Amino acid sequence: MSDRLTMQDPRQQYPRPPFPRQPQPVPGLAGELEPRPDHGETSYTGSGKLKGRKALITGGDSGIGRAAAIAFAREGADVAISHLPSEKPDAAEVLKLIEAEGRKAVDLPGDITDEAWCRDLVAQAVEKLGGLDILVVNAGHQQNRKDISKVTSEDFDVTLKTNLYALHWITQAAVPHLPAGASVITTASIQAYEPSAILLDYATTKAGIVAYTKALAKQLLEKGIRANAVAPGPFWTALQASGGQPPEAVEKFGSESQYGRPGQPVEIAPVYVLLASQEGSYITGEVFGVTGGAGIA
């Protein structure tokens, strides 16, 4: 894995396509990706920015959520991760990494398309962590469809429930537990601004996340709580290989960025740390684009 802290050409810092064709069943496992993503397992170094904090991260088993979980633990936070039961192999690795930092790790497997589970997972996180002051709503569902006629009601339903309904249910359950100084972070996407034709339902939800987060920020600041969104561009995660992109697109994934490669999850983790920490005290209602040079409008 690359040494993140050594000065180098960022275009060459991580693997570039072409990548092997590697279709996976939904929801996909990071452990099956080739090359293996860098979530910060050996490359993220903390400095105590979140010492004593208590975080809940949905989709914390792999991808951007996993990178945030590792970074938060190395910055001194106890971390609960939510994930699907089928993602247990990835989640087990993350939990061990959190515990290796001497932090409490809480495992919360379940399906966030279930409203009752969303509310229960928040209750369990609060109980097992002894409180909650960072909420990262990151879990997402993405399945490519080449034509509007192929986007079924079932497709639309699972995408909206995973990406938007769960965001609302989890945030609504968490807010009564969040003290002044707490932080809510959502994961939007460049798709909110530059939607791909094959991601009709996914892009719709990501635009919704931007609007929801901006409105939420206005409400929560009255309680001394900040809310912000992060909008990634192409990042190398299991979401892509498990139907988020067509198999042929996975082979060249990230090549369209100015970097000529996809981002690695560890490269976005510092943004989540900033937004979670007291150093981000004057940041709320913002969308932070990390797009490999594409920008957001």
Q: List the CATH number of the domain containing 163.
A: 3.40.50.720
* Within a domain: 60: yes
User: pTM value?
Assistant: 0.97
Per-residue b/e over 119-140, b at no fewer than 16 CB within 10 Å?
eebbebbbebbeebbbbbbbbb
pLDDT digits (tens, 9 = 90+) for 72-86: 999 999 999 999 999
Contact 193, 180 (CB under 8 A): no
The mean of the pLDDT values for the chain is 96
The candidate with the shortest Cα–Cα distance to 174, out of 121, 138, 222, is 121
Domain around 85: 45-290
Catalytic residue among 14, 44, 193, 202: 202
* Within a domain: 11: no
* Within a domain: 10: no
Q: 202 an active-site residue?
A: yes
pLDDT digits (tens, 9 = 90+) for 209-256: 999 999 999 999 999 999 999 999 999 999 899 989 999 999 999 999
Q: Per the structure, how many domains does the chain have?
A: 1
Q: SS3 of 114, please?
A: coil
* Within a domain: 36: no
Can you name the residues that pair with 208 across neighbouring β-strands? Answer: none
* Within a domain: 180: yes
